[in-house]
Amino acid sequence: MDRIIMSKVKRCSHVQIIMMMTLFVLYLFGFGYIYNGFFFKDCCSLDIFFRSSGYADRRLDKWREFVTRDTYMYSVHVMENLARFVICDLLVNRKPVAYCCYFDSNDTLLLNDSEFQVQYFRIPEFRLNQRYSAAFYTCPLPKSTRPYAVSLSTDHCKSPSNILPIVYPQQQQRKFTVCVSPLNYRYSKAYELVEMIEFNRILGADYFVFYNYSTDSNVDRVLEYYKEQGLVEVLKWNLPMKVDTWPKKKEPVEIHYFAQLAALNDCLYRNMYLSKYVVFQDLDEFIIPKKHLTWSDMMEALPKGSGAYIFRCFFFRKEWPDTTKNFEGKDKAQKYKMNTLLKQKRESKVLGKSHRSKYIVDPKQIDTVGIHNIWRYRSGTKAHFVDPEFARMHHYRDWLNPNDANTGVEDNRTMVYRNELLQNTVHAWEMLKDVPLGPISHTDS
């Protein structure tokens, strides 16, 4: 246990000591919700359990302030011989001046190898009317030692503001990892989440990474169910700036859509060496092969050597009526609100190559991802735009204009997965039988 815990204990009563140690043990066994509002109003109330030697909070996956409120850091990952910070900072025309300060596991500054000046890159996909945008700080790693942690400083490491553990590469553990944009608006569509996970597992997904800004209790229970199976990772996304709200408020939003770009790029680097492929899509999106049944077979048939495979978007409009065709298990599909089986009509319009598209990447060949495209590649690689007759991305959504004519094209490709999808979805809900499907309405929202 860190030294600061022991110093805190000396100043506590016996009752306080027992409470602190009990909560700490519960946290270790996964009961993180205890400190997330159940006993404490401040979600950082238990930071003392993770502090060390007077330096800043060592917990992974938390937004931290760098010197001033101009810049916030979330994580740092190693790629080749570089350490890359995922940050959000002020959208101004200046290049921040900072140094990387490296530390060993005892918080000792590695003087001989420290004070590396950082490189700065702002991800281009930003909104000029918003205060913050996603960016990277990148530093060379020391050659003579393997640092345990790193911090940024504006004064040659004299007073580093935060120390973050370095996430080093690990051996590949899976083939397909799905990265999902931040969950928000007190997300409560548990039925949608279960369908998304179960369908993508059939397609080939081994693992899912979610960033949780705001979810309801039913979704939390679904996520916990899949976490217990080793299928899901949920990262707290405690953004420190003003974000979108619903209903909308008059005060300005300070960053685009819950710092979506920062989350996607963190997910890229988090899985760069763990996963052969990383799939980027939202909860209501599915990359569907047309010539094969699985992503694995599809990828084997696609041209080799591309860093990214871009899939064209086709809208399946949820406000259009369910299919009138009868099929075995339709009652179950209706009970669990399974859009991928009930909505079999799509728009006839084919969107452009990078318009609303989503993608599968070889993460080791990618430097920076965007929402619908790749911003920077490595080693001269490029994208392959997949023929929509080979595979496409289904996007199930309500259209912006509900008065549009009810026209479209029949597309029942997802029905080839019907039996397995129904079986797996029904089983999941049997395990979650007391969990509301959602959405859940709140009078205070």
Q: How many C-beta atoms lie closer than 10 Å to residue 194's C-beta?
A: 25
Residue 199 has pLDDT above 70, yes or no: yes
Do 65 and 152 form a contact (C-beta atoms < 8 A)?
A: no
Q: Is the pLDDT of residue 443 over 80?
A: no
164: pLDDT confidence band, cut at 50, 70 and 90?
A: confident
pLDDT of residue 38: 31
For residue 95, the model assigns a pLDDT of 57
Q: How high is the pLDDT of residue 442?
A: 79
186 has a pLDDT exceeding 80? yes
- Name the percent of the chain lying above pLDDT 70: 81
Residues of the chain with CATH 2.60.40: 64-165
Buried b (16+ CB within 10 A) or exposed e, 204-232: bbbbbbbbbbbbbebbbebbebbeeeebb
- Fold (CATH) for 174-431: Spore Coat Polysaccharide Biosynthesis Protein SpsA; Chain A (3.90.550)
For residue 352, count other CB atoms closer than 10 A to its CB.
11
Residue 401: pLDDT band with limits 50, 70, 90: low
Q: What is the pLDDT of residue 44?
A: 28
- For 64-165, CATH number out of 3.40.5, 2.60.40, 3.40.720, 1.20.1250 equals 2.60.40
Of 39-43, 260-264, 389-393, least confident by mean pLDDT is: 39-43
Asked whether the predicted pLDDT for residue 415 surpasses 50, the reply is yes
Residues 254, 237: Cα–Cα separation, whole Å: 15
**Interval 61-113: pLDDT, tens:** 788 887 666 889 999 999 888 999 998 988 764 556 678 889 988 888 886 54
pLDDT score recorded for residue 262? 96
Whether the link from the prior residue into 252 is cis, omega within 30° of 0, is no
- pLDDT of residue 229 exceeding 90: yes
Q: What is residue 127's predicted lDDT score, i.e. its pLDDT?
A: 74
Task: Output the pLDDT for position 23.
Answer: 47
Mean pLDDT for the stretch of residues 424-432: 99
**pLDDT value of position 20:** 52
Q: What is the pLDDT of residue 350?
A: 84
* φ/ψ of residue 424, rounded to 5: -70, -35
pLDDT score for 91 = 75
Region 247-261 average pLDDT: 89
Beta-carbon contacts of residue 113 (< 8 Å; ≥ 6 apart): 102, 142, 143, 144, 145, 147
Q: Kindly report the pTM of this predicted structure.
A: 0.84
Residue with the larger pLDDT of the pair 39 and 328: 328
Q: What is the pLDDT of residue 9?
A: 34
What Rg do the C-alpha atoms of the chain give, in angstroms? 23
CA atoms within 13 A on the CB side of 279: 26
Q: Where in the chain is the domain with CATH 3.90.550?
A: 174-431
Q: Summarize the confidence of residues 119-129 as an average pLDDT.
A: 83
- Would the pLDDT of 249 be above 90? no
More confidently predicted of 164 and 444: 164
pLDDT of 317 strictly over 60: yes
Q: What is the mean pLDDT of the chain?
A: 84
Q: How much is the average pLDDT of 153-165?
A: 78
From 161, 165, 229, 166, select the one nearest 201 (Cα to Cα): 229
pLDDT above 60 (res 116): yes
Supply the pLDDT for residue 154: 79
CB 340, CB 394: distance < 8 Å: yes
Q: Tokens for 126? A: 């930003």
pLDDT of residue 36: 32
> Looking at 1-10, 126-135, 402-411, which range is the least confident one?
1-10
The CA distance from 223 to 202, in Å, is 18
> What average pLDDT score do residues 251-267 get?
94
From 30-34, 143-147, 175-179, 288-292, the region with the lowest mean pLDDT: 30-34
In this predicted structure, the answer to whether residue 194 has a pLDDT above a threshold of 70 is yes
Query: How far is the C-alpha of 69 from the C-alpha of 92, rounded, in Å?
Result: 13
- What letter represents residue 364's amino acid? K
Collapse the DSSP code of 213 into the 3-class scheme (helix H, G, I; strand E, B; otherwise coil) and give the result.
Answer: coil
